[in-house]
A and B are shown apart, each in its own frame.
Chain A
Amino acid sequence: MQREFVEAPVRGVLKWIDRRLPVITWAYNELVVYPAPKNLNYWWNFGSLAGIMLTIQIVTGIVLVMHYTPHVDMAFDSVEGYIMRDVNWGWLIRYLHANGASMFFALVYIHIFRGMYYGSYKEPRELLWILGVLILVVMMATAFMGYVLPWGNMSYWAATVITNLFSAIPLVGETIVTWLWGGFTVDNPTLQRFFSLHYLLPFVIFALVFLHILALHQVGSNNPLGIDLTKKDKIPFHPYYTIKDMFGLGVFLLVYGYFVFFAPTAFIEPVNFEPANPLQTPPHIVPEWYFLPFYAILRAITFDILFIPAKLGGVIAMFASIFVLFLLPWLDTSPVRSARFRPIYRQFFWILVLDVLVLGYIGGQPPEGWYVTVGQIATAYYFLHFLVILPLLGKLERPLPLPSGLDEPVLGTAGTRAAK
C-alpha cells in the first residue's frame, strides 16, 4: 500500500522552499489532506490530546529547568521554596507540569484501552501498536525520574525502591544498582543523572510519536467498525478532525484546569512535602496513581516459584505485565477487529478494565491481609486474559456479521461480508 502525496498549494517563496525541502508538502499531506474515516467517535480524540499534552510537558519543563537546582542540598528548596513562591508564575508552571504528568497518563491509558476495544493493534497496525507501547515504556521511565527531582521524602524512597528492582537480577544485580546510583545509596550522583535523563527522554518520546504517526498515516486510522474502509468513506483531516480535536481539547482543558487551579496537590503524596530523609522510610510507601496496577503486580508475588525467589519473581511479573502488550497483536487470534462484532470479547474487555482498576486499588493499599490475596487473584487474571483467554477466544467466539462499508449499516441493506 503506497500513499499518494499531493503537492502543497503554495506559491512564491514558500514554493521555492518546498521544491528544495518538502516540509510544507509533508505537513500539508499529514495534517490537511490525510484521509480519515468519517465514522471516528470521540474515543479517537485521545491520541491528539496526548500529543498536545506532551508538548505542554516539554514547554513547562524547559521553563522549570531554568529555575530548578539539581543538587540534594538545594533541589527541594528550589522547587517548594523558590519556584513555588518566588519565581513569577512558578506555581502555575510547576502545577501544570506536575498535574500534566497525571493527565498525560490518563489520556494515554484511555487511548490504549480504545485501541484494545476496537482492535487497533491488529494487522496491518502491529508496528503502530508496538511503537505505542514503546512510548508508554519511555513515558514511565521519564515520569519516574521526574518524580524524583523535587527530592521530597516520597521522591527519595520511590527512587530507592524502583532502582532496587534491578538488584533482583541474579549475580550482577548489586553491581548494576551501584552503577545506576553512582554510589552506595540514592544520593547526589543519582539525582543529577536522573535530571539529565528526564530532560533527554521527552525528546525520545517526541521522536517515537513522530514514528507512531508516520506508521498510522501509512496504514490509515482504524475506525469504530474495525473494517477496512474505501476512499468514499474517508474525509480530509482538516477541517473535519482538526475542529473535532479542538473541541475535545476544550473539554480536556476544563478537566486539566480544574486540577491545576482547584486541586493542584490531589495527586501529590503529603509525604513529598517533607525533604528527602535517607533514615526514614515513609510508613506507607506508594507510587503515583498511574503506576499502582504495576506496583500491585510487583507485590503479588510473595512466594518462590521453583528456583525463582519471590523478589525476582515480582520484578519479572511486573515487567512482563507491560511487555505482554508488545505481543498483543499475535496473542489475539481473532481476525475481527472491533469489539462491536465480538460479543464475548466485549465482556472480557470490560472485565479486564475492572481487573486493572482492582489492581490499581490494591496497589495503593498496605501489603497485608486480604489485600494480598485479592492482588494475587487480579494479577493472575491479568495474565490469564492476555495469555489464555485472548488466544482461545479468537478460535471459539462466533463474531457478528460484518458490514462491508459505512453506508450499509445506515441504509440497512441485507448483504454482509460474513454472508458472502
Chain B
Amino acid sequence: MAHTSSREGSGETTRRDFLELVSWSTLAVGTAVGLWPFVDSLNPSKEVLALASTEVDLEPIEPGQRVTVMWRGKPVFVAHRTPEEIEAARATPLDELRDPEPDEKRAPRPEWLVVIGICTHLGCVPVGQRSGEPRGDWGGWFCPCHGSHYDTAGRIRKGPAPLNLHLPPYTFVTDTLVRIG
C-alpha cells in the first residue's frame, strides 16, 4: 500500500494513519446513520404509539368475578377479589416467591387487582378469567401454553415464567371507575 516501509517499521504514527482512521470512522458512522431509518421504521409507528386509555366501570363486577378489557391491544385482567383471595395473597411469605413483591404493592386497594393478562413466559393469555376455567394450584391464573401458575395477586408461583404478571399504569377516577393507561 502507500505506507513507506521505513515509517511502518518504526511504529511511528503517521499522517496516513490518521487519515485512514478518520476515513474508516466516517464510513462507519455514515453507514450506521444511513441504516438507522430502515431499522427504526420497524419500530412502532406514531399511529401505534398514540396511546389509548381505557376506562372500566367497576360497579357491575361482583366479588369473585374477573373481567377482561383491552388496552393497547393487550388483555387486561380486572379481578374483584374475595376476602379469601386477598388473605391468601397477603399471607404468602415473600421468600416463597420467584419474583418477590408484596400484595400491598400490587393491589393498593385490596379488593381490586388489575394486571396485564399476558404470561411473562412467552406471551400467551392465561386462563382463569371465567368461572370453570382452571386457575392453577394457587387459585389465580394458569397458562395453558407452558404450564405457569399464578396466585391471586398475579404472582408467578410455578412453571417457566420468570416474572409476575405486569401491572399496567392505572388510576381510580372514582371508587367505581378505573382508568387504565
Contacts and interface: CB of A to CB of B under 8 A. Distances in A.
B45 A182 contact: yes
Nearest to A161: B122
A180 B123 CA distance: 14
A281 B162 contact: no
Contacts of A182: 42-45, 48
A61 to B, nearest CB: 23
B74 A185 contact: yes
Given A281-B124, A301-B160, A311-B160, A185 B144 contact: no
A368 B144 CA distance: 10
Nearest to B75: A279
B124 A160 contact: yes
A253 B164 CA distance: 51
A279 to B, nearest CB: 5
B167 interface: no
B131 to A, nearest CB: 16
A309 B162 contact: yes
A314 B122 CA distance: 11
Interface stretch (B9-17, B65-73, B100-108): B65-73
Interface string A294-312: 0000010110000001111
Interface in B112-171: 121-127, 143-147, 159-162
A311 B72 contact: no
Contact of A178 (B44, B70, B75, B147): B44
Interface residues of A, number: 39
B46 to A, nearest CB: 12
B122 A183 contact: no
B162 A368 contact: no
A178 B40 CA distance: 11
A317 to B, nearest CB: 12
A187 interface: yes
Contact of B44 (A167, A184, A284): A184
Nearest to A282: B144
A178 B123 CA distance: 12
B73 A184 contact: yes
Interface string A168-189: 0000000000111111110101
A283 interface: yes
A161 B123 contact: yes
Nearest to A162: B122
Contact of B73 (A164, A187, A280, A367): A187
A193 interface: yes
Interface in A263-313: 278-285, 299, 301-302, 309-312
Contacts of A372: 147
B121 to A, nearest CB: 6
A121 interface: no
Nearest to B68: A279
Given A160-B123, A281-B144, A283-B127, A310 B160 contact: yes
B45 A164 contact: no
B124 A161 contact: yes
Nearest to B73: A185
What are the 10 tightest A-B residue pairs by CB atom distance, in nearest-first order? Answer: A164-B123, A164-B122, A281-B124, A185-B73, A367-B147, A161-B122, A281-B125, A160-B123, A309-B162, A183-B48
Given A163-B123, A311-B122, 5 more contacts: A182-B44, A183-B44, A185-B74, A281-B126, A301-B160
